Structure 1
Amino acid sequence: MERNNRTLKVYGMSGNKYNDTPTIMMKGKWLEEFGFKVGQKYNVDCQNGKLIISIKKNTN
């Protein structure tokens, strides 16, 4: 794993009635290096101006 921090951009995507909706996109092999696999579910916790993204534990 090269870096633990990334600087990304919040994009605007056209949503309802062509109003921009904030959109965050992440892609790259680095996600796989941190354990995120294609098709896997994840949790996003929002708190104090931070998004905490974690792999959803299998509940089977």
Structure 2
Amino acid sequence: MMTCEQAEALNAAELARKQRPPRRVRPTQQCTMGYGYYSDSQQPVPALRLRGRWLEQLGFTIGSKLRITVRDRELVITVVGEE
């Protein structure tokens, strides 16, 4: 059960989220697919690393649960519960 303080903190966080100014639209970026290795193989596999404060600004905070949807040559990454 949620305490009064937890409920107040949740309400304050929700209010702060609603009062944010619109986010700046980032221009489309390009990068090169990297590679990595599985621990039991010498065969390289495709690897992609995204990092930066811009992820946090878009709601991808440390510890967030993500949903990755695969489409034809496209990945859509969504924070679970933030739709």
CA RMSD after TM alignment: 1.7
| Greater RCO, CA 8 A, separation 6+ | 1
Q: TM-score, normalised by structure 1?
A: 0.81
Q: How many residues align structurally?
A: 58
Gaps of 5+ in 2: 1-23
Larger Rg over CA atoms: 2
Larger fraction in helix: 2
Q: TM-score, normalised by structure 2?
A: 0.61
Gaps of 5+ in 1: none
1:11-50 to 2 correspondence within 5 Å?
Answer: 11-15=34-38, 16-50=40-74
The 4+ residue runs of structure 1 with deviation greater than 2 A are none
Q: Percent identity?
A: 21
More strand by share: 1
